[in-house]
Amino acid sequence: MATAKSARKADTKLAEKYRGYLRQMLLMRRFEEKAGEAYSLGKIGGFCHLYIGQEAVAVGCMSQLRPDDYIVTTYRDHGQALARGMSARAVMAELFGKATGCSRGKGGSMHLFDASLGFLGGHGIVGGHIPLAAGIGFAIKYRKQDQVAICFFGEAAINNGAFHEALNMAGIWKLPCIFICENNRYGMGTALDRATATWNISERAASYDMSREVVDGQDLLEVMAAMDRAVVRARRPAAPTLLEIRTYRFVGHSMSDPIHGHYRTKEEVEAHRLRDPIILWSEKLKADGLIDDEAIRKMDEEVKAEVQDAYDFADQSPDPEPEELWTDVYAPTEAK
Partner 1 sequence: MPTLTYRDALNQALREEMARDPDVFLMGEEVGVYQGAYKVSRGLLEEFGPNRIIDTPITELGFAGVGVGAAMVGLRPIIEFMTWNFALLAIDQIVNSAAKMRYMSGGQVGMPIVFRGPAGAALQLAAQHSQCFESMYAHIPGLKVVMPATPADAKGLLKSSIRDNDPVVFMEGEMLYNTKGEVPEGEHLVPIGQAEIKRPGDHVTLICYSKTVAICLKAAEQLAAEGVSAEVVDLRTIRPLDLETIFASVGRTHRAVVAEEGWYFAGAGAQVVDEIQKGIFDELDAPVLRVTGADVPMPYNKHLEKAAKVSPEKVVTAVKKVLYLE
Ligand X SMILES: Cc1ncc(C[n+]2csc(CCOP(=O)(O)OP(=O)(O)O)c2C)c(N)n1
**Among candidates 30, 15, 57, 50, which has minimal Cα distance to 243?**
57
Q: Indicate the residue among 16 and 37 with the shorter CB distance to partner 1.
A: 37
Interface of this chain with Mg ion, residues 130 to 169, rule: CB under 5 A: 154-155
CB 10 to partner 1: min, Å:
35
The set of residues, in sequence order, having a beta carbon less than 8 Å from that of 63 and lying 6+ positions away, is: 17, 21, 224, 227
Q: Contact between 101 and Mg ion (CB under 5 A)?
A: no
| Exposure string for 110-120, b = 16+ CB within 10 A, e = fewer | bbbbbeebbbb
Question: What residue type is 79 in one-letter code?
Answer: G
Q: Do 58 and 83 touch, CB atoms closer than 8 A?
A: yes
Binding site for ligand X (CB under 6 A): 76, 124-126, 153-157, 182, 184, 186-188, 253
Q: Indicate the residue among 79 and 121 with the shorter CB distance to partner 1.
A: 121
What does the angle CA 333 – CA 124 – CA 120 come to, to the nearest 5 degrees?
45
Of 50-58, 171-179, 187-195, 291-299, which part binds Mg ion (CB under 5 A)?
187-195
The set of residues, in sequence order, having a beta carbon less than 8 Å from that of 316 and lying 6+ positions away, is: none
CB atoms within 10 A of CB 188: 13
Q: Which residues pair with 153 in a beta bridge?
A: 181
CB 73 to a copy of itself: min, Å:
20
Q: Indicate the residue among 184 and 282 with the shorter CB distance to ligand X.
A: 184
List 40, 198, 308, 327, residue binding a copy of itself (CB under 8 A): 198
| Exposure string for 240-268, b = 16+ CB within 10 A, e = fewer | bbbbbbbbbbbbbbbbebeeeeeebeeee
Q: Contact between 217 and Mg ion (CB under 5 A)?
A: no
Residues in the interface with a copy of itself (CB under 8 A) total: 23
Interface of this chain with a copy of itself, residues 144 to 163, rule: CB under 8 A: 159-163
Of 136-144, 204-212, 271-279, 294-302, which part binds a copy of itself (CB under 8 A)?
204-212
Q: How far apart are CA 144 and CA 37, in angstroms?
A: 46
CB 158 to a copy of itself: min, Å:
9
Q: Which residues pair with 73 in a beta bridge?
A: 122
Interface of this chain with a copy of itself, residues 164 to 183, rule: CB under 8 A: 164-165, 167-168, 171-172
Q: Indicate the residue among 164 and 284 with the shorter CB distance to a copy of itself.
A: 164
Q: Contact between 101 and a copy of itself (CB under 8 A)?
A: no
Interface of this chain with Mg ion, residues 41 to 60, rule: CB under 5 A: none
Question: What residue type is 272 in one-letter code?
Answer: H
Q: How far apart are CA 85 and CA 307, in angstroms?
A: 14
Of 184-192, 221-229, 240-248, 313-321, which part binds Mg ion (CB under 5 A)?
184-192
CB 20 to ligand X: min, Å:
25
Under DSSP, the state recorded for 67 is T
CB 335 to ligand X: min, Å:
30
Q: Indicate the residue among 97 and 187 with the shorter CB distance to ligand X.
A: 187
Q: Indicate the residue among 73 and 100 with the shorter CB distance to ligand X.
A: 73
The closest residue (CB) to ligand X is: 154
* CA distance readout (Å), 151 to 79, 84, 87, 240: 14, 13, 21, 11
Binding residues for a copy of itself, per CB under 8 A? 159-165, 167-168, 171-172, 194-198, 203-204, 206-210
